Amino acid sequence: MRDDSERLADILDAAEKIHRKVVEGRDAFDADEYAQLAIVHLVQIIGEAANRLSPEVTEAHPEIPWRQIVATRNRVVHSYFDVDLELLWTVAAVDIPRLAKQLRSF
């Protein structure tokens, strides 16, 4: 079973992989279905890892929107044919970098 430090590392690893695609720009993202699929998968990983963090970690860091992170994961999992690319881009380009910065400050 993975512990909190491993789950946090999973989140940061997924965030770094997302970053590598985001820096290519929005046009590249829109044109690359495989990049979109990869980012959906990485958002799922982030949400699943966040969901499995201990209450001690999540309660110690209420500044991080843990519920929203998990909700985003659930949204992309359950609407796999109707993923909103605008929302996905915002999550990838804005929300995930902010989350990574917050986690690095732990």
- What distance in Å separates the CA atoms of residue 82 and residue 63, rounded to the nearest whole number? 30
pLDDT for 101: 98
| Catalytically annotated residue among 2, 20, 73, 104 | 73
pTM, entire model = 0.95
Is there a catalytic annotation at residue 78?
Answer: yes
73 is an active site residue: yes
Distances (CA, A) of 13 to 31, 83, 94: 24, 23, 16
The string of pLDDT tens digits covering residues 11-26 is 999 999 999 999 999 9
CA dihedral sign, ordered 83, 91, 2, 62 = negative
Average the pLDDT over each of 35-39, 75-79, 98-102 and give the range with the smallest value: 75-79
Active-site choice (67, 78, 98, 104)? 78
pLDDT in tens, 46-87: 999 999 999 999 999 999 999 999 999 999 888 867 889 999
Query: What is the reported pLDDT for 25?
Result: 98
Q: What is the pLDDT of residue 80?
A: 65
pLDDT at 5 over 70: yes
d(CA 94, CA 8): 19
